[in-house]
Amino acid sequence: MKKKKELGEASPMAALPWMNGERAVVVLYIARILCAAPFSLLLYESISLSIVSLFAIFLDIFADRDDPFSQFFTTRPGASSGILLGAVTLPGLMLSRLVQMSRGLSSNEVGFADFEYFRLQYWAASASCFCVLAFLQFVLHRRVTNTQSVGSCRDWKKISGVCCIALYAGICCIALGAKNHFGWKMELILFWVACHGSSAVKLIQSILQTFPACASIGETLLVTSGLVVYFGDMVALVVGKIYGYLTSPNFPSVQYFSRRSEISIIVQGMTLGLLLFPMIFKFIYQIAGCFNFQDMRPNNEIKKSLIFFGSLVFMLIAVVPSWMQFVQDFHSHPLLWVLDFVFSEPLKRLSLCTYWIALTYVSVTRFYHISKNSKIERILLRKYYHLMAVLMFVPALIFQPKFLDLAFGAALAVFLILEIIRVWRIWPLGQLVHHFMNAFTDHRDSEILVISHFSLLLGCALPIWLSSGFSDRPLAPFAGILSLGIGDTMASMVGHKYGVLRWSKTGKKTVEGTAAGIFCVLVACYVLPPLLATTGYIFTQNLFSLLVAVTASGLLEAYTAQLDNAFIPLVFYSLLCL
C-alpha cells in the first residue's frame, strides 16, 4: 500500500507532502477552466466546480496517506486513489463545453434550449461526482470512528466534509432556483439532479464490488459519473418524447430537451442496450430453466450459447431500434437507415471501410505474431496500436466526420459483444477471444475485465462525439487522436530508448519522453490547420490556450498513475475548447 501513495509523487513536490505532480496538473486544469468561464453566465457552475475540487483534494490526500478505503474496496494494485482526477474530469469537461457554447450563444449559433439542457447535464455530472465524494467522506468518517482516532482530527474531518456538502447543496439550489423561480420546475429539476447523485453512489459500489482490483477509485468514479449522465440523458429523451404527446396549451412549457442527430441516437441506444444486455441475458437464461449459470457441461454450454446469441439478435434488431424510433423520427428501421447512410456516398465510405479492415487485419496479425515470439516489451507493442489509430482516424475525421461517428459506435458495439463473450466464455468464441486478448494486456488489465482497448477507442471517440453540434475549435475533435496516438506514443518510445531524467524516484516516466510527446503534438497541431482548411474549417485556436492544453496533458501523462487513455484525452479536449 505504501507504493500506491508514492506513485505520481515527483521530486519537485517533495517539499509539499500534500501536493504531488498529478494534483498540481489537476489544479492547473481547474484554474484554466475557471479563468476562461464568463462569471456573468456561469458563476454558480464555477463556484460548484471549485467546491467539488476542494472536497476531492481533501479526500485524495487522506486516501493516499493511509489508504483508508482498502477495507471497503479492492482497487487496482499499483495505482493511487485518483479521487481528485476522477472527480473533476467530467464536471471540468462539462464546464469547458459550456464556456465554448456560451460563445455560440452570443453569436446565435447555439439555441438557448440547447445551452440550458447542457447546463442541466453539467449539474447532473457535478452532482454525481459530489455525491460519490460525500459517500467516500462517510466511509472515511466511519473508518476514523472505528479506529478511535484523535478527537480533534476526527472532528476536523467531519466538519470540513459537512461544510463542503452544505455549500454545494446551497449553490445548487440557488443556481437552479434562479433559473426556475423556485417553483415546481425547480423541485422537479432538483429531484432529477438528486437522482443522478444517488444513482452514482449505488453504481460505484456495485462496480467496485463486482469487478474488484480492476480500477482505482478515480477511474471508477469517471466511469460511474459518465454512465449515470448517459443513462440519465436516455431517460430525459423518453420523458421529453412523452411530454410531447401530453403537451396541451394549458400545460407549462419545459425547455430542457435538446435536439439530436440520428447517428448520436443510434450510438447511444446501441451502447446502452449492450451495457444492459448481460443482466437481461442472465434473467432470460434463468427463466429458460438453466439455473446453474456456471455449469460447463457441453450440452449446457451449447444451450447457453443459443440463448445468448438469440437474445443478442433480438436485442439489436427489435428492442434497441424500437427505443430509437420512439425518441427519434426515423422514416425507416434504424438498421436500414444506417445502410442508406453508408450507401449514400458508397465510393468514399466503402473505400474507407476497406482501408480500415485491411489496416486492422495486417496490424493485428503482425503484432499478435510479434507478441508471441518477440522479446519487445508489451508496452511498446501496444503503442503501435496508438499509431495505427492516427493512420485510421485522422483521414476519416478530416473528410468523413459523420461516418466516423457511426464507425466508432459500431466498433464500440463489437468490443462490448466480444468482451461479454470472453467474460462468460460463450461457446465457441469465448476461449479463443480470451487467449487472443491476453496477448495485448498489461498490468492495468485483469482476468475479470480487459479494458485497455476500450480506453483507447473511447479516448479517440469521445472528443469527436462531444464536438457534435457547435464547435468553434477545429482541433478539439482531434484531442484523443493527438494525445494518445502521437503524444503518448512518442513519450513512451523516446522515454524508453533515450530517457535518463525521471520525474519521480518510483516512476518510469522521463523528462525526455514528456518533452518529445509535447513537441510532437505541437508539430501535429501546426500541420493539421492547412489540412482542415481544405474542408472549410477556419483555424481559431488561441496560441496560449493551445500551449497550456498540450503542456498540461503531457505533464498529466508523465505524473498520473491512473489509466491515461481515459483521462488525458478528456483533459486535453476540455482545455482545447477554451
pLDDT digits (tens, 9 = 90+) for 207-219: 988 888 888 899 9
Give the H or E element holding residue 396. Answer: helix 378-399
Query: Rounded to 5 degrees, what are φ and ψ at 366?
Result: -65, -50
pLDDT reported for residue 212: 84
* Mean local confidence (pLDDT), 510-519: 91
Closest to 455 (Cα-Cα) out of 193, 209, 147, 223 = 223
Half-sphere exposure of residue 541: CA atoms within 13 angstroms, side-chain side: 28
pLDDT value at 500 more than 90? no
User: How far, rounded to the nearest angstrom, does the alpha carbon of residue 36 sit from its chain's CA centroid?
Assistant: 23
pLDDT reported for residue 246: 72
Predicted confidence (pLDDT) per residue in 248-288, tens digit: 544 444 444 567 788 999 999 999 999 999 888 887 877 76
Predicted confidence (pLDDT) per residue in 408-429, tens digit: 999 999 999 998 898 888 888 8
3-state helix, strand, coil split of the chain in percent (to 5) is: 75, 0, 25
What amino acid is encoded at 489 in this protein? Answer: T
The residues near 374 (Cβ < 8 Å, ≥ 6 apart) are: 381
pLDDT value at 230 more than 90? yes
Longest alpha-carbon distance in the chain: 73
* Mean local confidence (pLDDT), 377-381: 63
pLDDT reported for residue 146: 58
| 8 A C-beta contact, residue 491 and residue 558 | yes
Maximum mean pLDDT: which of 79-83, 126-130, 186-190: 126-130
* Mean local confidence (pLDDT), 16-20: 68
Distance CA 509, CA 19 (A): 18
Q: What is the DSSP string of 310-377?
A: HHHHHIIIIIHHHHHHHHS--SS-HHHHHHHHHHTSHHHHHHHHHHHHHHHHHHHHHHHHHHHH--S-
pLDDT reported for residue 290: 57
Mean pLDDT of the chain: 82
User: Cell 468482451 belongs to which residue?
Assistant: 419
Cell numbers at 278, concatenated: 448481460
How far is the CA of 44 from the CAs of 17, 99, 119, in angstroms?
A: 31, 13, 11
Q: What are the E-state strand segments in 136-272?
A: none
